[in-house]
Chain A
């Protein structure tokens, strides 16, 4: 797996966002074609394509179950959900906004968390393609990719679809390429108490 395939990071990230099967298929196919023409390995894309379910709606159902279920999805995709306290739009959201902003970008939907795993991966791909230096890449990956390691493990365990297992595996490899350790700390999305505004001991 080429660690510096920006498109692959973005694509893998999109795998955590896109639920429209035909569209996803087309994107993977297009990338495979491009990789082939550039003499790069096409195996990751082909593996994803092979794992993509045929029947419509299957992907979407599993996506909702894994990531969005309001009764308690096992694998929320926002970095803030893994912080203290466990709530959305936390520090990671603001930090991500600042990263995007520094590069002249912002998310289109400002009322949604900016620290979605897919967004962070797509942005990392953008950093790679733009030739960001090693320090920048390392800093972003420590701040905004590292946390995904246990999430990916969980996805692999929880999912009933080969596609998401394959995707989690691809992402784990990509993250290793970005210098992120496997499995690791971070643990479960935490259960935090109500924070006393007067005492900021627990925030960074």
Chain B
């Protein structure tokens, strides 16, 4: 009979029954078809894996080859359809000609920076058998404490292996990252939260927070939204960066003195009762400890803080008043900046959390909030296992000397060399390093010496970097474009959002995923922990399907929405109880008292201050085009910043007789590096600023090798005793503690 006219949407419905008659519709279809990309091109939705923002990616393939990475349409709470340079250049990681391709074993017994390992190709079977045998021998002869695994605590199947073996010495770089922040949050406001409701903020206070200059898109878009909504942004940072451009006021704060300003602002808020009374009365332990709290902050006047920080007292007082009255106000916290730059980080993060609590914006509009997530079951929920053996043994990074760090489980790079060389020499008999370069350690020369003492080292990575070059066995790893995974959004999630990461291209050469590695080693070393209830081995693909199904997302991973985004929009219900011991936001932390720590933040100076010998602050930054492990060898990104330089204030340089391009030697108590000087107006005149991510010594990384210097050569590691003495109880590596001398080496350049 007759067909009715349909009201199909135009987009996406090519040749749906249109225009009534079927003949007309057919004629229409002979002329028009659904729009598509050029012939041979197709798109796959996936998720970027360069940083933890997990922006959506639309990968474009031409005849099966990756051609372009674009932002993901519809990714409104992520990259917004855009991608930063690191993400957009991600193809360079997958197709890097220098990439590790096959498992290899070392034939040159000499190990050291810049030494050619003399690699010989082996099979995965031989590699796995060798690693398993060495690990097994080490454990049976010396105990589980003799195994050092330097890796992040993921994925879940990798942790199952380590826990099954009773590995106590899993160490990661968290003291250089967010360890302090996670610990303090646990006691003050609940589980670590990453999400910031900038869009509803009216007052944004940045203590060194520099995420726009690092290209963290979700936060950048949040700040843009805040500014568009009329928010005021205030920035404390010795450097005027791309982030500072978005600030209404910028203060070149003295390095390491953010704590003083934060304490003074709390002082003003309390003195003038400018905190959110309703929130503080009902959801914090302020009423219980009010007297002690007020007394603690009484000495920290803006006048006192000006002497510590170079921020004028009048400004501190005015900004505190604005913070208390122009809300909703927020002080963002992310990773290294507050938690790892200085040894007074424990106090600083505590003070920053108190500012957010006093603003009344914890899990409230305009403030820091807990990402709303669905429960994606981990392997333990899918495949039960026997109980793990207890973790015994000495902790090579001394985390057992810092109870809160031990409780947290995060690792410390800054104490590792001391542990391996001084405290427990010879304890580590076998080591496994997963995706870290030498650049990432303070004092890389020292950690190199430490690693040389380990009889057997296996490395899993994408690129033949300076750590891989120290390995006895090196394993080629898959990149984020070659694996499937489910990722729950953390950085921006007022309702649950899960991204799919897809194997857009098959794994190159013989690269394998960490899941494969974990299960294969598990079969050899801890078989009882890697079997499914029906007796077969755990399979990563089946496991992922199970997770997808049990999370209620789809019946299998393959059926995850092709858009790459799964969302469950639901109203945001602010928390009324928080994940702390008392269920309230804790300004005063009684649990710290029992451990001998201050329950409230007190002033502590940064560990190292300029001296006659080392008169200048040594500051480092992560440029927008670099990210650990993944970008150094990328030609597109390298072009944008080919080498790092010694950025110094032009007036400082003139005073030292240094002209643009002159080679200068920067020397700290730890080491020295030589770089070209670059004169700027965007830096305090008592500091020198160097970009992190350069100084790769492995010749096998042909783009990265020979470019620039390692900032970390100037950065001292520390002993746990030093940390305890400094009151650094939550494990900050003190990455920006160093002070340096600057010396002109030779003419290199011209008038600025």
Q: Are B10 and A14 in contact (CB under 8 A)?
A: no
Please pick, from B3, B9, B24, the residue contacting A130 in the complex, using a CB distance under 8 A.
B9
Q: State A51–B486 Cα separation when bound (angstroms).
A: 64
Q: How many whole Å from A49's CB to the nearest CB in chain B?
A: 14
Closest A residue to B30 by beta carbon equals: A108
Assuming the contacts A34-B2, A104-B12, A125-B19, asked whether A14 and B35 have C-beta atoms less than 8 A apart, the reply is no
Q: How many whole Å from B23's CB to the nearest CB in chain A?
A: 5
> Which parts of A24-50 form the interface with B (CB within 8 Å)?
26-27, 30-31, 33-34, 37
Interface centre among A26, A34, A126 (most CB of B within 10 A): A34
What's the tally of chain A residues with a CB closer than 8 Å to chain B?
32
Q: Which of A4-12, A58-66, A157-165 contacts B (4 or more CB under 8 A)?
A: A4-12
Please pick, from A27, A37, A103, A105, the residue contacting B24 in the complex, using a CB distance under 8 A.
A27
Q: Are B5 and A129 in contact (CB under 8 A)?
A: yes
Q: Are B32 and A123 in contact (CB under 8 A)?
A: yes
Q: Are B35 and A105 in contact (CB under 8 A)?
A: yes
Chain A contacts of B36 at CB under 8 A? 106
Chain A contacts of B24 at CB under 8 A? 7, 10-11, 14, 27, 30-31
Q: Is A72 an interface residue (CB 8 A)?
A: no
The contact string, 1 if C-beta is below 8 Å from chain A, for chain B 1-40, is 0110101111111100011111110011011111110000
Q: Are B21 and A104 in contact (CB under 8 A)?
A: no
Chain B contacts of A131 at CB under 8 A? 7
Chain B contacts of A27 at CB under 8 A? 21, 23-24, 27
Assuming the contacts A18-B27, A103-B11, A104-B10, asked whether A7 and B19 have C-beta atoms less than 8 A apart, the reply is yes
Q: How many whole Å from B178's CB to the nearest CB in chain A?
A: 44
Chain B contacts of A105 at CB under 8 A? 10, 14, 32-35
Chain B contacts of A33 at CB under 8 A? 2
Q: State A14–B22 Cα separation when bound (angstroms).
A: 14
Q: Is A56 an interface residue (CB 8 A)?
A: no
Chain A contacts of B34 at CB under 8 A? 104-106
The contact string, 1 if C-beta is below 8 Å from chain B, for chain A 10-24, is 110010011000010
Q: State A14–B188 Cα separation when bound (angstroms).
A: 72
Chain B contacts of A107 at CB under 8 A? 31-33
Q: State A164–B9 Cα separation when bound (angstroms).
A: 33
Q: Are B35 and A10 in contact (CB under 8 A)?
A: no
Chain B contacts of A26 at CB under 8 A? 23
Q: Is A2 an interface residue (CB 8 A)?
A: no
Closest A residue to B3 by beta carbon equals: A34
Q: Is A67 an interface residue (CB 8 A)?
A: no
Q: How many whole Å from A4's CB to the nearest CB in chain B?
A: 12
Q: Are A119 and B35 in contact (CB under 8 A)?
A: no
Q: Are B18 and A129 in contact (CB under 8 A)?
A: yes
Q: State A103–B11 Cα separation when bound (angstroms).
A: 5
Q: How many whole Å from B80's CB to the nearest CB in chain A?
A: 20
Q: How many whole Å from A142's CB to the nearest CB in chain B?
A: 20
Q: Are A126 and B33 in contact (CB under 8 A)?
A: no
Q: Are B10 and A126 in contact (CB under 8 A)?
A: yes
Q: How many whole Å from A191's CB to the nearest CB in chain B?
A: 30
Q: Are A108 and B33 in contact (CB under 8 A)?
A: yes
Q: State A97–B33 Cα separation when bound (angstroms).
A: 12
Q: Is A140 an interface residue (CB 8 A)?
A: no
Please pick, from B7, B11, B31, the residue contacting A122 in the complex, using a CB distance under 8 A.
B31
Chain A contacts of B20 at CB under 8 A? 6-7, 31, 34
Q: Is A118 an interface residue (CB 8 A)?
A: yes
Q: How many whole Å from B682's CB to the nearest CB in chain A?
A: 40
The contact string, 1 if C-beta is below 8 Å from chain B, for chain A 80-122, is 0000000000000000000011011111100000000011001
Chain B contacts of A6 at CB under 8 A? 5, 18-20
Q: State A176–B3 Cα separation when bound (angstroms).
A: 28
Chain A contacts of B31 at CB under 8 A? 17, 107-108, 118-119, 122
Chain A contacts of B12 at CB under 8 A? 104
Chain B contacts of A101 at CB under 8 A? 35
Closest B residue to A11 by beta carbon equals: B24
Q: How many whole Å from B417's CB to the nearest CB in chain A?
A: 59
Chain B contacts of A103 at CB under 8 A? 10-11
Closest B residue to A97 by beta carbon equals: B35
Q: Are A106 and B35 in contact (CB under 8 A)?
A: yes
Chain A contacts of B30 at CB under 8 A? 108
Q: How many whole Å from A79's CB to the nearest CB in chain B?
A: 15
Assuming the contacts A30-B21, A130-B10, asked whether A104 and B35 have C-beta atoms less than 8 A apart, the reply is yes
Q: State A134–B14 Cα separation when bound (angstroms).
A: 23
Q: Are B32 and A122 in contact (CB under 8 A)?
A: yes
Q: State A9–B447 Cα separation when bound (angstroms).
A: 77
Chain B contacts of A118 at CB under 8 A? 31
Chain A contacts of B35 at CB under 8 A? 100-101, 104-106
The contact string, 1 if C-beta is below 8 Å from chain B, for chain A 128-157, is 011100000000000000000000000000
Known interface pairs A107-B32, A125-B18; 13 further A-B residue pairs with C-beta atoms within 8 A, sorted by A's residue number: A10-B28, A14-B27, A18-B27, A34-B3, A105-B35, A107-B31, A107-B33, A108-B30, A122-B27, A126-B19, A129-B18, A129-B19, A130-B10
The 8 closest A-B pairs by CB, nearest first: A104-B11, A103-B10, A30-B21, A106-B35, A7-B19, A105-B32, A27-B23, A7-B20
- Sampled A-B contacts (25; CB under 8 Å): A6-B19, A7-B5, A7-B21, A10-B19, A10-B28, A14-B24, A14-B27, A26-B23, A27-B23, A30-B22, A31-B24, A34-B2, A100-B32, A101-B35, A104-B34, A106-B33, A107-B33, A108-B31, A118-B31, A123-B32, A126-B19, A126-B32, A129-B5, A130-B7, A130-B9
